[in-house]
Amino acid sequence: MASVKPWSLVLVVFCIMSLSYFVNGAGSNEGLGASFIFGDSLVDAGNNNYLQTLSRANIPPNGIDFKASGGQPTGRYTNGRTIGDIVGEELGVPSYAVPYLAPNSTGKAILYGVNYASGGGGIMNATGRIFVNRLGLDIQIDYFNNTRKQFDKLLGPSKAKDYISKRSIFSITIGANDFLNNYLLPVLSVGARISESPDAFIDDMINHIRNQLTRLYQLGARKFVIGNVGPIGCIPYQKTINQLNENECVDLANKLAMQYNRRLKELLSELNGKLQGAIFVHANVYDLVMELITNYTKYGFTTASKACCGNGGQFAGIIPCGPTSSLCKDREKHVFWDPYHPSEAANVIIARQLLNGNTKYISPVNLKQLRNL
């Protein structure tokens, strides 16, 4: 009989422990099990790279400060990490949630989470059609349904159910495109605005997202965080096309966002009382970003109106970030990376408030508390 080398025994034990880690859902409560990310370009990690679409960020200098890629573009619409990336890191997820459409979104990689977000996507299916292709929230949930079946195969139905419901967080960051690239879209949406009042459009949005969140609940999700719509009237794009001064914002866009946000908060309270065993956390992104814009110097920024990467107008707010764009040298000093999206420096501040903040910005619990429930 051949002798057994000590190192081979160690290898066998290590392999058994590794398998046990995945099958038992990591076996400890030190970190989050999985982060499932739904939404738009604020949290897209590369899904649009795999679509024939006009909305893409897999070109430089996007990603210039993203350490995991060595500064190469990944499809993230910012210079570094998204809010979803930072939150996942801080909650103990060992790797970033893999984009659903990426070739490596199979097998054990999905146990850390999957990112379904898509630049141009919205709550309403018509949103973002100007980009030709994008993943709306309905399609993103269809894709999660596929992932859910993969979890059953990987862990077995019983362990998969526990892992999804108890050790995973579902984050939804969506709604801005429903205004910017649907209801408020210049020229293309004039007919819609004539035929549908703001109240009726927001009613449609709320009814859709109620059904979408309920569907995720039916698929096993229990821990949710839903971001409201930020101050979209204050982004460099809106300031530029409306020829505003540095301290001005587009009133109509912000009013629509606030109207939707009030309804969303009421909806989450309704679902918290209605869907047994679930917790819906409300992330007050609007006030959080408005605080950054209003008091930007307090947080170490030198501008909250001009895009770091972009072209056109006073605030470089017309042409999206790309190889021919003007690029600022002090990226960490800009609230906005491009005409639409926050810089990594702003994302870090936003994410930390969501992780550790009080009920002014995140309620009824913050994300560290949600993980431990």
Based on the residue annotation, tell me whether 341 is a catalytic residue of this protein: yes
With contact defined as beta carbons under 8 Å apart, do 133 and 52 qualify? yes
The residue from 35, 41, 168, 305 that is catalytic is: 41
SS3 124: coil
SS3 87: helix
The residue from 208, 282, 334, 341 that is catalytic is: 341
Q: Is 338 left (phi over 0), alpha (psi -120 to 50) or beta?
A: beta
Report the side by side order of strands in the sheet with 114-115.
98-99, 114-115, 34-39, 168-173, 223-227, 279-283, 362-363
Q: Which amino acid is at 319?
A: I
Provide the 8-state DSSP code for 63: T
The residue from 40, 44, 65, 338 that is catalytic is: 338
- Which of these, 117, 34, 128, lies nearest to 83 by C-alpha position? 117
Based on the residue annotation, tell me whether 338 is a catalytic residue of this protein: yes
Q: What count of other Cβ atoms lies within 10 Å of the Cβ of residue 165? A: 15
SS3 200: helix
Based on the residue annotation, tell me whether 208 is a catalytic residue of this protein: no
Provide the 8-state DSSP code for 73: -
Residues labelled as active-site residues? 41, 338, 341
